[in-house]
Structure 1
Amino acid sequence: MPVLPIIQLGSTGHYVKLLQMNLNGLALNFNGFVLNGVFDIKTSEATKNFQDRFEINPDGIVGPVTWKVLLEQVKVVQKLLNARGHHAGYLDGWFGAATTNAVHRFQTVNGLYSSGIVEPRSRRRLFDPYPRDNYEYRPSSSDLRSLHPHVAVLARRFLELTRAHNLDVRIYTAFRSWDEQDRLFAQGRWMPGYVVTNARGGDSYHNWGLAFDAAPYENGIQSNDPQKFVRMGHFGQQVGLQWGGTFRTLVDYPHFQYTFGLNTWDLLHGVRPSV
């Protein structure tokens, strides 16, 4: 791999635009940065999100490790597109015109929205064309049985612990459908409301039964007391859950998850928890 420059907030030029093209093509442009070669705040946020996904220090600085992982992610997409006969060209790691056009062709052939970016439904079809499950089509549910069995056990332990400490906590979302996730992603972007998630359908642990949302209640009404949410979060952590109140990119106090060490791209690629 050629030596690539270190770029960060305030950088400009050709390599910044290449970074933006790769992040955009991999469907990581969740905040709508412009592909203009200017490393602005939005580009920095998207970079940190990518780094966090791959357990790279999320400092927003694109150095050798971030470049390596980013180019590898594009290369594997290019390799699969070529293998499926969609002619992405040489495996150079850059999400340029040839790769974008190949994605368009792949999406059209597979009855997907032809965006030219590898959003979760396209990623699943490309990496796991014959899935053994129907996660993509399951309806939303607040029933703990819609969760992975191990996550459901942790959720029950969490509820027992909160009740033992006189905190009335209720789980109001367990499995979330991919369509509902897409509607939430649209909120605050091209639909009315505030931004509540950076994840498209298929790119949230809710969409795989590995996450749930909960809230404290008082006199039968959901509480707005931040201290109650913090207490609830600590109880979730005590049973082994990851709490959204500790997230770096979009703090989410009601959110709890157990990921088995997998990121959502692993899940889209057909990898499943071993237990």
Structure 2
Amino acid sequence: MSILPILTLGSTGRYVQLLQMGLDGLALNYNGFAIDGVLDIRTRDALLNFKDRFDLPHVGVVDSVTWKILIENVKAVQKLLNSNGYHSGYPDGWFGPTTTAAVKKFQTDNQLYPSGIVDPRTRQRLFNPHPKDHYEYLPSSNALRSLNPHVASMATRFLELTRANQLDVHIYAAFRSWDEEDRLFAQGRWTPGNIVTNARGGDSYHNWGLAFDAAPYENGMISNDVEKFKRMGQLGLQVGLEWGGNFKSIVDYPHFQFTFGLNTWDLLNGVRPPA
């Protein structure tokens, strides 16, 4: 492979377009950037989302490591499509028209919407076609038992700690169905309301029982006191949870998660947390 250029905000040209095609094809175009060969703010933000997924430095620069991970992920898709009889061309790591057409054919054959992008449901069908568990079809639940047992245990310790610190905290969302996640993703994009998530169904830790939402209450209602949310967040960090108040893209004060070091593509690909 030839040496690929370093790209930054404002870069233009063919390699920016190739970057955009890769991000779009891997279902990371959550903010509607145009595939026009211009690394604008929307493209940069989608790039940052991709880099956060792989724990890369949160800077809007496409360096050799970023190129390597992006190209490897596209190659993995191309190789699986080819091995399943869907001609995506030579696995070169570029998400071009042939790969898009192969994804559409795969989606049509698997009763999925033929978008041509590897959205979470498409990824699971391709990488883990026969999962032993069926997270995709589970209903939403606010019960702690809907969470991974280790995460549920952490949530219990978290609630005990908040009460010891004179906070009346309640968990109001635990497992979230993939269909509900899709509805939330649509909000502010093609349905009314404000944007509340950048995750499609299957691409949120809520969809795997590894996250929950909590809030401090006052007089039976969710508090408007940001400082109480911040105190709650610090207590969650004390028990080992990640807190959405520290997120870089959409700051999410109610959100807590424990991921076992897995990203959602790992989960869609069939990797599971330890028992």
By the TM > 0.5 criterion, same fold?
Answer: yes
Aligned length: 275
Q: Per-residue deviation at 1:250?
A: 1.1
Aligned to 2:4: 4
Q: Aligned partners of 1:173, 1:258: CA distance in 2, in Å?
A: 15
Q: Per-residue deviation at 1:243?
A: 0.2
Q: Aligned partners of 2:178, 2:142: CA distance in 1, in Å?
A: 15
2:134 counterpart of 1:134: yes
Partner amino acid, structure 1, of 2:50:
F
Kindly report which structure 2 residues correspond to 1:83-122, keeping only aligned pairs within 5 A, or say none. 83-122=83-122
Partner amino acid, structure 1, of 2:54:
F
Partner amino acid, structure 1, of 2:63:
G
Q: Aligned partners of 1:266, 1:61: CA distance in 2, in Å?
A: 24
Aligned to 1:272: 272
Across the aligned residues of Structure 1 and Structure 2, the Cα RMSD in angstroms comes to 0.5
Aligned to 1:183: 183
* TM-score (normalizing by structure 1): 0.99
* TM-score (normalizing by structure 2): 0.99
Partner amino acid, structure 1, of 2:66:
T
Partner amino acid, structure 1, of 2:39:
F
Aligned to 1:145: 145
Q: Per-residue deviation at 1:224?
A: 1.1
2:127 counterpart of 1:124: no
Look up the SS of the partner of 2:181 in the other structure: helix
Q: Per-residue deviation at 1:231?
A: 0.3
Q: Per-residue deviation at 1:145?
A: 0.1
Kindly report which structure 2 residues correspond to 1:172-251, keeping only aligned pairs within 5 A, or say none. 172-251=172-251
Partner amino acid, structure 1, of 2:194:
Y
Q: Aligned partners of 2:180, 2:258: CA distance in 1, in Å?
A: 21
Structure 2 runs not aligned, ≥5 long: none
Q: Aligned partners of 1:200, 1:82: CA distance in 2, in Å?
A: 26
Q: Per-residue deviation at 1:249?
A: 1.2
Q: Per-residue deviation at 1:2?
A: 1.5
Structure 1 runs not aligned, ≥5 long: none
Q: Per-residue deviation at 1:55?
A: 1.0
Kindly report which structure 2 residues correspond to 1:8-27, keeping only aligned pairs within 5 A, or say none. 8-27=8-27
Q: Aligned partners of 2:18, 2:125: CA distance in 1, in Å?
A: 25
Aligned to 1:66: 66
Look up the SS of the partner of 1:213 in the other structure: strand
Q: Per-residue deviation at 1:147?
A: 0.1
Q: Per-residue deviation at 1:86?
A: 0.3
Aligned to 1:81: 81
Aligned to 1:253: 253
Q: Aligned partners of 1:98, 1:27: CA distance in 2, in Å?
A: 17
Partner amino acid, structure 2, of 1:47:
L
Look up the SS of the partner of 1:129 in the other structure: coil
